[in-house]
Amino acid sequence: MNGDGDATISSGRQIFFASPKLIRLEFLAVNKNDPEKFKTDVVSFMNNLIADMPKGMVNAQSQWVRAINEHPQLASMYLGSAVMVSDLSIEYIIEWANYYWRLMPNDRKTKKIVAEWLNYACTLNQFSVTGPKSAAPMFVRVGRSKDAIKNLEKVLESYRKFNLREQYVMGVEELINDVKNKKI
């Protein structure tokens, strides 16, 4: 697991557990005051984060996601806590991918890097609706509409697998149709 826990930062006070590197990247992305530093630092940070916390590892380590998978009959009770796992990490990664995309040439290499980061963010938490919904327009921009659809469908599948209320995934099916019909 990432020693700093940067892949599992959630809303609330957990930002205080973020590494100085994550906080510096977020500062650079929000303030846009040193784009060259951001471009080099974000690539290094994301490569290390993905190596330290492979896809699916956060789901495996989250006590709430584990509880839902082990006790499906209690899924609705744990859902609120499970949804929050990694929500800030997911938001930051999508924000950084968007900013990186705007700074770099729109070539095949940049598209591949941005898509990798977006896919990573979308896999951090199988119950996060916000991640795939926020990433969908960015996937379309980099020519990866199929990835947008795949990640949105995975979220729907997670909720349906445990027979959870559809109110949590409102708008996901419409967004899938918008991506398929090239409306975004």
Q: What percent of the chain has pLDDT over 90?
A: 52
- Give per-residue pLDDT as tens, 113-128: 999 999 999 988 888 8
Angle of the 130-141 helix axis to the 145-161 helix axis, nearest 10: 160
Residue with the two structure tokens 């209320």: 165
In a domain, 1, yes or no: no
Burial class (CB in 10 A: 0-12, 13-18, 19+), 79: buried
Number of C-beta neighbours around residue 29 at 10 A: 17
In a domain, 164, yes or no: yes
pLDDT confidence band for 129 (50 / 70 / 90): confident
In a domain, 138, yes or no: yes
Of 159, 151, 148, the closest CA to residue 181 belongs to: 148
Q: Which two tokens stand for residue 32?
A: 């846009």
What is the rounded average pLDDT for all residues in the chain?
A: 86
Domain that holds residue 59: 6-180
In a domain, 28, yes or no: yes
In a domain, 133, yes or no: yes
Q: Output the pLDDT for position 1.
A: 35
Domain count, the chain: 1
pLDDT confidence band for 3 (50 / 70 / 90): very low
- Give per-residue pLDDT as tens, 43-81: 999 999 998 887 766 665 666 677 777 877 777 777 766
Burial class (CB in 10 A: 0-12, 13-18, 19+), 36: exposed
Residue 101 CA to residue 95 CA, distance in Å, equals: 10
Contact 90, 125 (CB under 8 A): yes
Section 80-84 average pLDDT: 67
Query: What pTM, to 2 d.p., does this model score?
Result: 0.87
